[in-house]
Amino acid sequence: ETGVTQTPRHLVMGMTNKKSLKCEQHLGHNAMYWYKQSAKKPLELMFVYNFKEQTENNSVPSRFSPECPNSSHLFLHLHTLQPEDSALYLCASSQDLWVGNQPQHFGDGTRLSIL
Amino acid sequence: GQNIDQPTEMTATEGAIVQINCTYQTSGFNGLFWYQQHAGEAPTFLSYNVLDGLEEKGRFSSFLSRSKGYSYLLLKELQMKDSASYLCAVRDREDSNYQLIWGAGTKLIIKP
């Protein structure tokens, strides 16, 4: 139990569907992150939120739309995805953005498959 | 540019010792993290180094040399449950948000 919960664990969707990924952290952290993890590749940072405000968007296509209603919850809304978007999507949180030794705490991820 | 290199896969024997290396190139080094990730699970934090030297934590130790852009994770008395991927990540203060730059991970296979 990492304190970061992601749902669903697995998702299969067609390219025209709309779905959302959910992340909730129970650690009282102020910063939350979305990452994409593809096989044998480094984690790709997608979005960063600090105190509910988006601070980073790493040139992510608009078919991925994040939402952070409060410091404990983070969503990733998906629309008209492509087959190359199939990957493990990881949510993470940390106490703050800028404190050097603060680790990020990850959820188990959502395994997304695009048909 | 920013770059992290670590071996793709390593194999070791139960009870033995294994060293996983990580080399990095960043413009503003601000700390190095090691994470463990079992298949289908969340990456979990193992260690943090910001000064040169060895940090020991039970069976796991992590070493850093800032001048060489080099770190290693040392695992002693290997157990079957240590079979996992090990991720190296560097924090770069040149990034506006001090974000982590990640390696692709080293898959460690432990054999009986």
At B70, list the tokens. 């080099």
Q: Rounded CA gap, B60 and B76, in Å?
A: 6
Chain A nearest CA to B35, separation (Å):
9
- Record: contact B48-A101, CB cut-off 8 A: yes
Structure tokens at A108: 């188990």
Res B63 pLDDT > 90: yes
- CA–CA distance, A44 with A66 (Å, rounded to integer): 15
- Contact: A100, B87; criterion CB under 8 Å: no
Residue linked to tokens 């992590």: B62
Output the pLDDT for position B97. Answer: 65
- Interface check B87 vs A, CB under 8 A: yes
Q: Report whether A35 contacts A46 (CB < 8 A).
A: yes
- Report CB contact under 8 Å: A103, B48: yes
The pair of three-digit structure tokens given for residue A34, joined into one six-digit string: 């979305």
Rounded to an integer, what distance in angstroms lies between the CA atom of residue B36 and that of residue B83?
9
Q: Which residues contact A6 (CB under 8 A, 6 or more apart)?
A: A21, A22, A23, A89, A90, A91, A107, A108, A109, A110
Q: Which of B92, B97, B98 to mutate to test the interface with A (most CBs of A within 10 A)?
A: B97
CA distance B66 to A2: 30
Summarised one tens digit per residue, pLDDT across range A72-99 is 999 999 999 999 999 999 999 999 887 7
pLDDT for residue B95 is more than 80 = no
Q: What is the pLDDT of residue B98?
A: 67
Kindly list the residues from chain B whose CB atom is less than 8 angstroms away from the CB atom of residue A107: 42
Asked if B50 lies within 8 A of A100 by C-beta distance, the reply is yes
Q: What is the pLDDT of residue A56?
A: 79
Residues 24-83, chain B, touching A (beta carbon < 8 A): 30-31, 33, 40-45, 48, 50
- Measured between beta carbons, the chain A residues lying within 8 angstroms of B50 are 100-101
pLDDT tens per residue across span A14-52: 888 899 999 999 999 999 999 999 998 999 999 999 988
- Percent of chain A, pLDDT > 90? 77
The confidence band for B92, taking pLDDT boundaries of 50, 70 and 90, is confident
Helix (H) / strand (E) element for B34: namely: strand B29-37
